[in-house]
Amino acid sequence: MQLLKDKIRKDAKIIEDRIVKVDGFLNHQLDITLFNEIGKEFKRRFSSKQVTKIVTLETSGIAIASIVAQYFNCVPVVFAKKHAGLNMNQDVYEAKVYSYTKDQEYTIKISREFLDPNDKVLIIDDFLASGSALMGLINLLSQSGAEISGAGIVIEKSFQGGRKLVNETGIQLESLAIIDSIKDGQVYFVTR
Amino acid sequence: MQLLKDKIRKDAKIIEDRIVKVDGFLNHQLDITLFNEIGKEFKRRFSSKQVTKIVTLETSGIAIASIVAQYFNCVPVVFAKKHAGLNMNQDVYEAKVYSYTKDQEYTIKISREFLDPNDKVLIIDDFLASGSALMGLINLLSQSGAEISGAGIVIEKSFQGGRKLVNETGIQLESLAIIDSIKDGQVYFVTR
């Protein structure tokens, strides 16, 4: 998605040729116009799939998933919680996820009442790197019996191995910007 | 807002006549159609105000704020972080907030680069109860010199005192459903 790649080249901050910081438009300040374009693009890529629910992960996926849902007939969004409050239902599906940016293992949870075997779920998330978050969500969704219609990622860092894990599941994976490498503060995208 | 009150009466779970659990449509599973109606209603109530940015608080405010932004010319949304990652900028505005549902004090943070004195900010959040979260956001925003155009709340629990604190600041406060009391599992709204 050219618009997104241009935005990353222009506004992302590269730290130690390893971290792509997109706080300015994707996960602290949110560019709602860009998110609408992202929604249209995911709709185009998953146009043949049935989607009854969009599932994402707290925190960065929530805003993107909510805007994207508008392009899939405003289906409900369910986000897996990392920081469950005292009021959270104890009857949950859960899975372990390791966060590299926080150097911490989380248990992600979704209340059982919000997923069932009739659901056809599109997973949306901001980043794919090692695949830990996405594989955690896939594991959690498998427990519910829901069908996974696909996984839509905004930015993929291809050199961290996540795609290989997802491909083994057979799930359609669509990333809107795939970073091949980072060198001297410059981002190089995979061209397709 | 009648649609919202009906939804609360129909789908909220009342716990110990104290907690209004809206996991089914507001803060775990998200009703995107309802969020669009909420966006229209906030636009109506703040139609006379200039808004250059919408600010909310991690986690539950993010999805609502993102949809609401579409009714304010897709202005950027900035959310205050409760769980800052290792990559977060250290140059932040911050304030203390006490969460009753998690029984925990948080420091909420927004990077200085995303707020400036030219901003006219609409605050959006899911709940107003004691006012701790909203007063924390107001405190944080005041540090930036940004003008606060108003505060839009989805559900207010009027019996927990938050409104009084906000009124003392002179900021326009609009809550779409104001709960007067809860008795025997029934919610009673303030009628205006």
CATH number of the domain that residue A169 is part of = 3.40.50.2020
Is any Cβ of chain B less than 8 angstroms from the Cβ of A144? no
The widest CA-to-CA distance across chain A, in whole angstroms, is 48
**Total-model pTM:** 0.96
* pLDDT over threshold 90, residue B102: no
Q: Compute the nearest-CA separation of B64 from chain A (Å).
A: 8
**Region label for A123, one of left (φ > 0), alpha (ψ between -120 and 50) or beta (otherwise):** beta
Q: How confident is the model at residue A99 (pLDDT cuts 50, 70, 90)?
A: confident
Overall average pLDDT of the B87-115 stretch = 89
Probe site for chain B from A17, A30, A33, A73 (most B CB atoms < 10 A): A30
**What does the block give as tokens for B3?**
């649609």
The C-alpha angle B124, B98, A114, rounded to 5 degrees, equals 60
Q: How confident is the model at residue B192 (pLDDT cuts 50, 70, 90)?
A: low
Question: What residues of chain A lie within 8 A of the CB of B92, using their CB?
Answer: none
Residue where the block lists tokens 């009628």: B191
| Residue range(s) defining the domain that contains residue B180 | 2-189
Q: Helix axis angle, A61-69 relative to B32-45, nearest 10°?
A: 90
Give the pLDDT score at A107: 94
Q: What is the DSSP string of A112-177?
A: GGG--TT-EEEEEEEEESSSHHHHHHHHHHHHHT-EEEEEEEEEEEGGGSHHHHHHTTT--EEEEE
Question: What residues of chain A lie within 8 A of the CB of B76, using their CB?
Answer: 29-32
Task: Count Cβ atoms below 10 Å from residue A185 Cβ, excluding itself.
Answer: 10
Q: How confident is the model at residue B86 (pLDDT cuts 50, 70, 90)?
A: low
Overall average pLDDT of the A93-116 stretch = 91
Cβ neighbours for B105, distance < 8 A, ≥ 6 positions apart: B96, B97, B98, B99
Contact in structure between A17 and A183 (CB atoms under 8 Å): yes
Q: Look at chain A and report how many structural domains it folds into.
A: 1
| Inter-chain CB pairs, A–B, below 8 Å | 128
